[in-house]
Amino acid sequence: SGPDKEMARALPWLIFAATLLLLASIKSSTASRMAKPGCQETCGNLTIPYPFGIGQGCFYSEGFDVSCENNRVFMHNSSSQMEIYNISLAGGQTRVSTFIASKCFYSNSNNTDGWVSSNTADFFKISTKANKLTAVGCNTLAFLGGYNEHSVGAGCFSMCADKQSVDHSGQCSGMGCCQTSIAPNLSSSNISFDDRFDNSEVRGFNPCSYAFVAEQDWFRFEASYLEDNKFTEKFNNGVPTVLDWVAGHENCDEAGNDMSSSACISKNSHCIMSPNATGYLCTCSDGFAGNPYLEGGCQDINECSFPDQYPCLGICSNAIGDYSCSCNSGTTSIDPKRETCKPIAVSERARLTKIFIGNLHILRIFCK
């Protein structure tokens, strides 16, 4: 019958259209996938990209294993008390919570003296560029001892004899708060206080001192932090610290020579040396985006969908790993990616026509 014939003619096109939709769906899901196939990709509001992962077989190696507990992500599990706030594949960094060391003097018979120590997994280091040792308190000398193949240390001193000498500018100037840089590539650290200095003479307005390693741009000092336990009450979950991580300790030449062990397994990815730690990271090649640590993780960017990043003032055409920009017929531009296409002037059109006719004449002579 007529309707059956029409359906028969339309069926191949319907199948073709369905196939295109399926391929688009597959490409979309592949491009957005950041975890290993079959592994949990998100916890709360945080995306967990491989080499990090939840559960056996879902992470790259020891140290990259994380847990999801009550919509919060922890290094290894919550017993580490290191909650993960952010993971950056591009920068090779993760932002985690760490402890605060404290020392209090309430009376001659009631005082506390605490210290904090930490150790990182093999591919992780405490970032020297992103963090600083910070001490809060008066008459306070705090130390950070650590190891990076050498025994290293740093310290800072804060002095304020009374409330009037506390700096209220918000800066850590040494008057109520001090900061200093830390050694690179620290795999272990210990924060402590010098026993020769305490809060006995300032306990009326500053009974406790605190020290921690935290992201340097995060902390802003407030004079009220010196009072009672206001500092630890506000930061009872710890402070944010940046860890640098690498996919391997080799350089890119060494990692590239052994593809069986290289972490850069996606097509259209390559190795780069970490700008922050000793070792290498992986990144998608230009024109591609995604997770370079996964097979098929780096997918072509449709540059035409992101005009702010990939400008085109004419007709944008996507290509694998690149894009082109051209002008409509009758318009021209020296560079349509940067300059607007303008109508070709009559004189210019005539000149181009003459060139075309001249070339056509030469072609005819050549063909004879």
Domain boundaries, the chain: 34-77, 94-245, 252-298, 303-343
* Confidence label for 367 from pLDDT (cuts 50, 70 and 90): low
> Which residue did the predictor score with more confidence, 257 or 276?
276
Residue 228 pLDDT level (bands cut at 50, 70, 90): confident
CB 210 within 8 A of CB 162: no
* pTM score, whole prediction: 0.79
Residue 144 has pLDDT above 80, yes or no: yes
What's the whole-number mean pLDDT along residues 144-162? 92
Where are any strands of DSSP class E within 206-314? 208-215, 239-245, 269-273, 280-284, 288-290, 298-300
Q: How high is the pLDDT of residue 3? A: 46
Which among 182, 211, 212, 197 has a CA at the least distance from the CA of 98?
A: 212
pLDDT at 217: 87
What's the pLDDT at 20?
A: 37
Amino acid occupying residue 256: G
Please state which of the ranges 1-15, 228-242, 263-277, 341-355 shows the lowest mean pLDDT.
1-15
Confidence (pLDDT) at 356: 61
Predicted local confidence at residue 21, as pLDDT: 40
State yes or no: pLDDT of 10 exceeds 60: no
Does the pLDDT at position 2 exceed 90? no
Q: Which of 16-30, 252-266, 301-315 has the highest mean pLDDT?
A: 301-315
Q: How confident is the model at residue 364, as a pLDDT?
A: 61
Amino acid at 230: K
What average pLDDT does this structure show over 329-349?
85
Q: Would the pLDDT of 30 be above 80? A: no
Of 49, 40, 47, 21, give the one whose Cα is nearest residue 266.
49
Residue 208 has pLDDT above 90, yes or no: yes
Q: Is the pLDDT of residue 346 over 80?
A: no
102: confidence class by pLDDT, cuts 50, 70, 90? very high
Mean pLDDT for 103-127 is 83
Q: What pLDDT shows up at residue 89? A: 94
Kindly tell me if the per-residue pLDDT of 84 is higher than 60.
yes
What residue ranges in 100-202 does DSSP mark as E strands? 101-107, 110-113, 116-119, 124-126, 131-136, 140-147, 151-158, 177-180, 188-193
Judged by average pLDDT, the poorest of 3-7, 58-62, 107-111 is: 3-7
In this prediction, residues 25-51 reach a mean pLDDT of 79
Asked if residue 31 has pLDDT above 90, the reply is no
* Residue 35 predicted with pLDDT over 90: yes
Give the pLDDT confidence score for residue 24 in this predicted structure: 40
b/e code 268-302 from CB counts within 10 Å (16+ = b): bbebeebebbbbbbbbbeebbbbbbbbebbbbbbe
**pLDDT recorded at residue 15:** 38
Query: Is residue 57 over pLDDT 90?
Result: yes
Which of these ranges, 16-30, 177-191, 255-269, 301-315, has the smallest mean pLDDT? 16-30
Average pLDDT over residues 167-183: 94
Q: State mean pLDDT over 189-216.
A: 92
Q: Is the pLDDT of residue 107 over 60?
A: yes
3-state SS class at 54: strand
The percentage of the chain sitting over the pLDDT mark of 90, rounded to a whole number, equals: 68
Res 16 pLDDT > 50: no
> What does the mean pLDDT of the chain come to?
86
